[in-house]
Amino acid sequence: MITFFVAFLVSLMVALGLTYVVRNQALAWGWLDQANSSRKVHVRPIPRLGGIGIVAGFFAPLCALFLVDSGVGHNFRSHTDLVMGLFVGGGVIAALGLYDDLRGANARLKFSVQFAVALGLYALGFRIEVIANPFGPELSLGALSLPFTVLWMVGVVNALNLIDGLDGLAGGVAFFGVSTNFILALSRGDVLLCLLMAALAGAILGFLVFNFNPASIFMGDTGSMFLGFVLAAVSIKTSTKSGTAVAMLVPIMALGLPIMDTLLAVIRRSLLGRPLFSADKEHIHHRVMSRMVLSHRSTVLVLYALCGLFMLTALGLNFANSAQSALLLCGMGVVIAVMMRKLGYLDLGRAGDMQQRRQRNLRLRSVVKQVIGSVRETRSPQEVWSAVRPLAEVLGVSRQELRFQKADDGLVEGIVFETERAAGLSLPFERRLEVKDEDQVLGSLLLVWRDGRDAIDRDEELALELVADAIAERAVKFLAVADAEPGRVIALRR
């Protein structure tokens, strides 16, 4: 136990110190997560890259084992597959997250790297070969072992990434998963897995000092994907050494909240015709906050309690017999169903218009894709305006305005494009989106409806934010080389 405590303490101190340094440097260098989207919960720019502290905190005591001549160190070094998988795979995933936090990585790059790492781990012996069944005989995967293992690895990595939506949430969720694996490994006398989980627990807690609400730094994709990777890899080792009848169900239950949230997101976006990788504010943590009218911190604490329930269920499954396991699963199923009903995921009253919303969203996605593609090929403000004008018809707006501006010695110079359509006679409702590059305002996109609405549809809002981001990319380029004519207005009506 002393070895575990030392590993925990070393990782805790490294994570604390490095997170503090990274936070201050991120503030100094402007590496901030801007609150420039309706998808963001925070209202001010927050430093990111806190995941660096988690990664360094986890690896610090493990690297020390290469330098210390001890039984634990020798045992660790002798497991070359485990060492190589964690160090090489974890390093690649952390590097991918760091690149995404600094430069931005598209879904294709992320999945390509994640699948490559998962295949590498499978080659090193990280394999799921049996799916246990408390209601009957276990199922041997055979040739399906490879796709199932890869799906588990990639799924958990992205599940932790998706759940990272509130201060302290992803770190807390990961801590409960780590605690489950530590207790299971300790009950079996697995020193190495206990050591790994003690190191990761220290790294998480060291980071949470700065990340719990109100957060002063975010972990970013560097931290969330790395946590998902380590938990997915260690869970495979934990389940393969289990002698219970529900081996693989234990890690699934231990990570029940992020897995459930990911499955709901995939189902929801598929049914509504939304892009699978688009962000929204309908995750479990968003709905708990809005429907239960809770504060940011209270929402996180409620979800911590839910993770604790998943953790106790996972431990119960490990030590229970088949009949008891079946009862535990049924009981947890009832709890999940009640929660889904409470949060509105099982609202049958909304099922009737789902197909209509799906068709509208598919059409909107098609138009937005064309608009963004056209915007990215433009070379002047006039061409950008021509590219975005089709939005007026597909969104049914009565007035659309695109404004470019450039601040110079306290004065604002700009170009304004506008168009009007006959689209209703009700009181106007308007939505203005800033066209921003980091903290620099480059202009705005204004849309006005007269169809009687008093709010904008969430799918329309997300689509407009994507268009505004694309406009900002181009505006940075041509506003940097050409000054706008002061007060110039070009009115285009039809």
Residues annotated in a binding site for Mg(2+): 161, 221
Is residue 335 helix, strand or coil?
helix
Cα-based angle 372, 373, 379 (whole degrees, multiple of 5): 95
Q: How many CA atoms lie within 13 A of 141 on its CB side?
A: 14
Cα–Cα distances (Å) from 15 to 3, 5, 18, 20, in that order, read 18, 15, 5, 8
Distance CA 101, CA 222 (A): 7
Contact 485/413 with Cβ under 8 angstroms? yes
Say if residues 254 and 311 touch (Cβ distance below 8 Å): yes
Q: How far apart are CA 320 and CA 303, in angstroms?
A: 25
In sign, the C-alpha dihedral spanning 227, 177, 258, 167 is negative
Taken as a whole, the chain contains a residue count of 494
To 5 degrees, how large is the angle CA 40–CA 99–CA 91?
Answer: 115
Maximal C-alpha separation, the chain: 81
CA distance 356 to 352: 8
Binding residues, by number, are 161, 221
- How many CB atoms lie under 10 A from the CB of residue 335? 13
Could you write out the DSSP letters of every residue in 235-280?
HHHHHHT--STTTTHHHHHHTHHHHHHHHHHHHHHHHHT--TT---
Cα–Cα distance measured from residue 161 to residue 224, given in angstroms and rounded to the nearest whole number: 5
Count of H-run helices and E-run strands, the chain: 19, 9
Q: HSE (CB half, 13 Å, CA atoms) of 373?
A: 6
CA distances from 464 to 79, 248, 364, 459, 470 (A): 52, 42, 10, 9, 10
Residue 104 zone, left/alpha/beta (φ > 0; ψ -120 to 50; rest): left
State the DSSP H helix or E strand holding residue 154, giving kind and residue range, or none if neither.
helix 145-162
Contacts of 417 by beta carbon, 8 Å cutoff, 6+ apart: 381, 382, 385, 401, 402, 403, 490, 491, 492
CA 347 to chain centre: 25
